[in-house]
Amino acid sequence: MKSGWVGGKTNSAEATLKSGEHFADFLEKGDVFAFIGELASGKTTFIKGILKGLDYNKSVTSPTFTLVNEYDAKYPIIHIDCYREDELERWIKLGLNDYFSEENIVIIEWADKMKSLLPENTIKVNFSHKSLNSREIILITP
Ligand SMILES: Nc1ncnc2c1ncn2[C@@H]1O[C@H](COP(=O)(O)OP(=O)(O)OP(=O)(O)O)[C@@H](O)[C@H]1O
Ligand SMILES: [Mg+2]
């Protein structure tokens, strides 16, 4: 990831989307992001913004049931959601490690559920549900 992205609070769903769109400018191939934060803290909305920022105009949904969504955007984006699957063995069998490549950008919702499977250089982004209309999105630098 390129340096210089500054997170902060968003005051509407639209602002969370915009923040993701801006975040897209800082992505680099090979990045792996762990999105960590409680239910409804804005993770999927932010990812929708990222894809918008990468000129991807098709629909983006949370891969809650499919487990993994692959988007052919400006870069290949791999969107993973661990919420319903915290059985680590299943992720390994699914070929999780093949997604971690220099060609892809991998973004994982509820990544704390698969902490031990993540590459060492994984970049953490923390999402907090502050109030009805406020979410805080911050980068956790290692
Ligand atoms: N700053 C904000 N203010 C108000 N609503 C917001 C804000 N940011 C996002 N939202 C809304 O919050 C709801 C939940 O957002 P989202 O689905 O992105 O959360 P999530 O972290 O992916 O949740 P989950 O853990 O269930 O996957 C959505 O309806 C979204 O539009
Ligand atoms: Mg989500």
pLDDT band at 61 (very low <50, low <70, confident <90, very high): confident
| All structural domains of the chain with their residue ranges | 8-140
Encode pLDDT of 11-52 as tens digits: 999 999 999 999 999 999 999 999 999 999 999 999 999 999
Give the CA distances from residue 52 to residues 28, 32, 42, 43, 93, in Å, rounded to whole numbers and listed in that order.
16, 19, 15, 14, 31
Best mutation site among 16, 82, 128, 133 for ligand 1, i.e. most ligand atoms within 8 A of its Cβ? 16
Tell me if 104 CB under 6 Å of ligand 1: no
Tokens of 45: 């909305």
Tell me if 134 CB under 6 Å of ligand 1: yes
CATH number of 8-140: 3.40.50.300
Tell me if 12 CB under 6 Å of ligand 1: yes
Its pTM stands at 0.96
Encode pLDDT of 113-132 as tens digits: 999 999 999 999 999 999 99
Ligand sitting nearest the alpha carbon of 43:
1
